[in-house]
């Protein structure tokens, strides 16, 4: 990767072609952008001038966290609270400052209902509340109450009135809350006192009429111990019974499936069954040894098999004995479980009776104690509330009154003017970019490289008396690109095509052919446009005979090639126009014809129809060594051009580059065109030049291709 690609050459990142294009576009349209900025500045200044000035004044309040209506004397003296715990309280106070209640009282106090805009408003309180702004000061308990008005004195008067009404309302609310708390405590004390008396009377009556076996709160230990032992025995019996039931079920399932019972846990644990299993295993091992030595009918094998069968029957019998023992134990456990359950029920009934009597006494005792404790607590809180009420201060205070401001807060004329300036500047830039977006033709050499992704071979200016030398230099740049891209000593076939008709393909071919011929290169121009042949007209020759006669009548090619008025320049006209040109150009003999001409001429230039109309150029592109694509300045939709160029690239890898034709020299000045005043028109007659100008990028492209040719690059596929 080279330095231009990495952007590290010289230590400065290189600006890409896209950025260069848009920067150049904005610079060329700077007059429109500046005009938009000035218009925005004027509009912003006018808007700031016509607006009515508004003033804002504010009063400062200190709002402390809430103090509980019922609290201890120490809490009232210390006033300790965590500010972060009261975020919801402060948000509520901010809303109350803008509430209808505060607004109604303020309107009545200042007599604002008689003045506009409140006089005719259906909801004057809401209208006034919308003008109030509450702004807390961070990390403090201070709050700013702000009012905006056209009169600075009126703004200060209203802000002070809102703050005063809020302070008075807060104080009255706290006094009312303390009064309600004291009244509620007294009512609760009377009800609690009556409940305490009734609970004590019930407790005494129950204690004298109930004879408890155990002390209150102490359950009978004998009943509890007996019930615990019965429960423990019952659970052990039940667990053993469930285990046996599972073992019997497993044995029945194994029998149903035809499996042996030797895998039962009881069989595994039984020593007799284990001994029989060992004997069976030893007998089977001995049987395997005998089978290796004797045949199946041997007496020893028969005897050993009978022994194994006897052992299997013995093990099966032992399994049945174990199962019978399990069934007997299971039935015994069922009876034991029923007996224990009956005994437990009797103990529970007896224990429940005594527990109920004890519980009734304990419940009455707790009710009496609870009523007594509640009465003592309420009495203490009533005494503390009376003391705390005398120590309580207001939690809201007016710290700083509002004063009439000197400067308005709106309009901010400098800001409005700056916004207008920036908006106008952005609108100007947007207008330039939109104009460029909707202008969908190729007009500059940069667009060839940026949009078409193609090498610019030459930019030929529109011909007039002032651009003769520029036209000549443009075609000389194209000739230089062809010479640098040349590969090998044989003749080079160059296809010159384009997107649409009237783009200057034939003119480009003739002018380049004349320049190549004038430099001593033997050049042949072939008219492969078998639909609208024009080459013979431009060169002053007859159309017949020509290329089609070679394929139709098989005329020798040497008889069809004719010289022109330019030395070393020859022409092969189209001949009679065939009904199906693609079928003619796709023949294998077309490739043979070009191979024959490569041995006779240094350059073979092919003129073809445009790509947007027919596919003739794609057929010829596969047989050409180089393809030159002609694009007319500001004429064909650039998306159509790119599609045509992409289809050409899919057909061949030998696309050399693009010739931009018919560029106006008056719109770009000397930025693109390198002009030599003392250079004569070496080739390219002025009357043939209806094509594009040779910019400095073309010279750079030729130089790059020259270096590529020197390194072995640019060879045809």
Q: Give the CATH number, domain containing residue 559.
A: 3.40.50.300
Q: Where are the alpha helices (DSSP H) in 217-298?
A: 221-256, 265-269, 271-293
Q: Is 465 exposed, middle or buried (0-12, 13-18, 19+ CB in 10 A)?
A: exposed
Q: Coil, helix or strand for 425?
A: helix
Q: Identify any residues that bridge with 149 across adjacent strands, giving them in sequence order.
A: 55
User: pLDDT digits over 531-546, tens only?
Assistant: 888 898 999 998 889 8
Asked if 505 and 644 touch (Cβ cutoff 8 Å), the reply is no
368 shares its domain with 459:
no
Strand (E) or helix (H) holding 329: helix 299-391
What local confidence, expressed as pLDDT, does residue 74 receive? 55
Instruction: Answer whether residue 357 is part of any domain.
Output: yes
Q: Per the structure block, which two tokens stand in for 221?
A: 């230990």
Residue 245: which domain range? 221-377
Q: Per the structure block, which two tokens stand in for 162?
A: 């809102």
pTM: 0.43
What local confidence, expressed as pLDDT, does residue 69 receive? 47
SS (H, E, C) 604-663: EEEECCCCCCCCHHHHHHCCCCEEEEEEECCCCEHHHHHHHHHHHHHHCCCEEEEEEEEE
What local confidence, expressed as pLDDT, does residue 699 receive? 34
Indicate the residue among 377, 393, 425 that finishes a domain. Answer: 377
The closest of 480, 462, 493, 692 to 598, measured between CA atoms, is 493
359 shares its domain with 463:
no
What local confidence, expressed as pLDDT, does residue 208 receive? 59
CA distance 689 to 506: 10
The label of the residue with tokens 């109450």 reads 145
Provide the pLDDT confidence category of residue 678 given band limits of 50, 70 and 90. very low
- Cα torsion through 308, 313, 319, 325, rounded to 10: -140
For residue 36, CA distances in Å to 22, 416, 419, 431 come to: 18, 16, 13, 9
Q: Per the structure block, which two tokens stand in for 639?
A: 């998306």
Asked if 60 and 166 touch (Cβ cutoff 8 Å), the reply is no
484 shares its domain with 347:
no
The closest of 142, 355, 150, 332 to 237, measured between CA atoms, is 332
Indicate the residue among 377, 401, 424 that finishes a domain. Answer: 377
Q: Per the structure block, which two tokens stand in for 324?
A: 């019978």
697 shares its domain with 570:
yes
What local confidence, expressed as pLDDT, does residue 562 receive? 92
478 shares its domain with 373:
no
User: pLDDT digits over 422-462, tens only?
Assistant: 998 999 899 888 877 776 777 777 778 777 888 889 888 88
The label of the residue with tokens 């009800």 reads 191
What local confidence, expressed as pLDDT, does residue 638 receive? 80
357 shares its domain with 264:
yes
598 shares its domain with 471:
yes
Instruction: Answer whether residue 20 is part of any domain.
Output: no
515 shares its domain with 628:
yes
Q: Per the structure block, which two tokens stand in for 629?
A: 């694509």
Buried b (16+ CB within 10 A) or exposed e, 391-419: ebeebbbbeeebeeeeebeebebeebbeb
475 shares its domain with 594:
yes
- Cα torsion through 269, 272, 274, 280, rounded to 10: -160
Q: Per the structure block, which two tokens stand in for 651?
A: 């057909």
CA distance 255 to 258: 5
Instruction: Answer whether residue 353 is part of any domain.
Output: yes
Instruction: Answer whether residue 168 is part of any domain.
Output: no
- Cα torsion through 105, 111, 112, 115, rounded to 10: 160
Indicate the residue among 347, 377, 407 that finishes a domain. Answer: 377
What local confidence, expressed as pLDDT, does residue 493 receive? 93
459 shares its domain with 596:
yes
The residue ranking higher by pLDDT, 491 or 2, is 491
For residue 682, CA distances in Å to 132, 250, 407, 629, 695 come to: 86, 114, 78, 23, 18
Range from 110-124, 154-168, 418-432 carrying the lowest mean pLDDT: 110-124
Provide the pLDDT confidence category of residue 71 given band limits of 50, 70 and 90. low
Q: Calculate helix-pair angle for 30-50, 413-438, nearest 10 degrees.
A: 150
- Most confident stretch, 202-211, 326-335, 627-636: 627-636
Average of per-residue pLDDT values in the chain: 76
Instruction: Answer whether residue 717 is part of any domain.
Output: no
Average pLDDT for 592-608: 92
pLDDT reading at 390 higher than 70: no
Count how many domains the chain has.
2
476 shares its domain with 584:
yes
pLDDT reading at 184 higher than 60: yes
699 shares its domain with 554:
yes
């Amino acid at each position: 990767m080279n330095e231009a690609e990495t952007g590290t050459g010289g230590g400065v990142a290189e600006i890409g072609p896209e950025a260069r294009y848009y920067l150049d576009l904005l610079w060329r349209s700077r007059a429109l952008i500046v005009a938009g900025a000035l218009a925005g500045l004027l509009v912003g200044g006018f808007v700031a001038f016509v607006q009515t000035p508004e003033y804002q004044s504010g009063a400062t309040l200190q709002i402390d966290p809430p103090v509980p209506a019922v609290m201890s004397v120490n809490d009232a003296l210390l006033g300790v609270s965590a500010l972060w715990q009261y975020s919801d309280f402060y948000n509520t106070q901010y809303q109350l400052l803008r509430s209808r209640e505060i607004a109604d009282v303020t309107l009545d106090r200042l007599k604002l209902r008689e003045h506009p805009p409140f006089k005719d408003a259906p909801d004057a309180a809401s209208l006034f509340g919308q003008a109030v702004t509450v702004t807390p000061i961070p990390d403090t308990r201070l709050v700013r109450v702000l009012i905006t008005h056209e009169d600075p004195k009126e703004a200060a008067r209203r802000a002070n009135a809102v703050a005063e009404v809020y302070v008075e309302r807060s104080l009255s609310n706290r006094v009312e809350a303390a009064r309600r708390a004291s009244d509620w405590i007294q009512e609760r004390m009377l009800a609690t006192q009556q409940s305490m008396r009734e609970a004590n009377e019930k407790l005494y009556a129950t204690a004298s009429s109930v004879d408890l076996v155990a002390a209150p709160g102490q359950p009978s230990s004998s009943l509890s111990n007996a019930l615990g032992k019965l429960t423990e025995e019952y659970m052990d019996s039940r667990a053993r019974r469930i285990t046996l039931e599972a073992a019997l079920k497993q044995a029945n399932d194994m029998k149903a499936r035809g499996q042996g019972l030797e895998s039962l846990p009881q069989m595994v644990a039984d020593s007799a069954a284990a001994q029989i299993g060992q004997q069976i295993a030893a007998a089977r091992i001995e049987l395997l040894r005998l089978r290796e030595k004797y045949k199946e009918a041997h007496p020893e094998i028969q005897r050993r098999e009978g022994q194994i069968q006897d052992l299997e029957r013995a093990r099966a019998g032992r399994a049945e004995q174990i199962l019978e023992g399990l069934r007997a134990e299971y039935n015994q456990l069922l009876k034991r479980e029923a007996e224990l359950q009956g005994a437990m029920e009797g103990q529970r009934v007896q224990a429940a009776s005594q527990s109920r009597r004890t519980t009734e006494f304990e419940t009455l005792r707790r009710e009496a104690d609870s009523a007594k404790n509640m009465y003592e607590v309420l009495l203490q809180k009533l005494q503390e509330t009376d003391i705390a009420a005398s120590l309580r201060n207001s939690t809201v205070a007016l710290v700083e009154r509002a004063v009439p401001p000197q400067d308005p807060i709106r309009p901010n004329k400098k800001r409005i003017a700056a916004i207008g300036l920036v908006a106008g500047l952005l609108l100007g830039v947007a207008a330039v970019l939109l104009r460029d977006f909707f202008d969908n033709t190729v007009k500059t050499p940069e667009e060839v490289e940026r949009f078409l992704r193609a090498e610019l071979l030459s930019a030929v200016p529109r011909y007039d008396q002032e651009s003769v030398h520029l036209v000549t230099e443009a075609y000389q740049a194209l000739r230089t690109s062809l010479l640098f891209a040349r590969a090998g000593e044989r003749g080079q076939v160059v296809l010159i095509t384009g997107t649409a008709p009237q783009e200057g393909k034939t003119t480009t071919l003739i002018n380049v052919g004349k320049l190549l011929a004038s430099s001593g290169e033997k050049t042949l121009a072939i008219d492969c446009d078998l639909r609208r042949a024009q080459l013979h007209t431009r060169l002053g020759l007859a159309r017949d005979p020509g290329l089609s006669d070679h394929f139709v009548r098989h005329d020798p090619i040497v008889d069809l090639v004719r010289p022109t008025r330019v030395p070393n320049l020859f022409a092969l006209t189209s001949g009679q126009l065939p009904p199906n040109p693609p079928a003619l150009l796709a023949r294998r003999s077309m490739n043979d014809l070009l191979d024959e001409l490569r041995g006779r001429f240094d350059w073979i230039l092919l003129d073809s129809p445009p790509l947007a109309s027919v596919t003739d150029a794609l057929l010829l592109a596969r047989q050409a060594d180089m393809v030159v694509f002609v694009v007319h300045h500001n004429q064909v939709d650039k998306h159509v051009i790119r599609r045509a160029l992409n289809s050409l690239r899919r057909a061949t890898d030998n696309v050399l580059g693009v010739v931009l034709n018919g560029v106006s020299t008056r719109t770009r000045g000397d930025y693109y065109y390198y002009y030599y005043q003392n250079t004569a028109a070496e080739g390219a007659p002025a009357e043939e030049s209806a094509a594009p100008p040779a910019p400095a990028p073309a010279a750079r492209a030729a130089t790059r291709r020259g270096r590529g040719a020197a390194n072995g690059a640019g060879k045809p596929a």
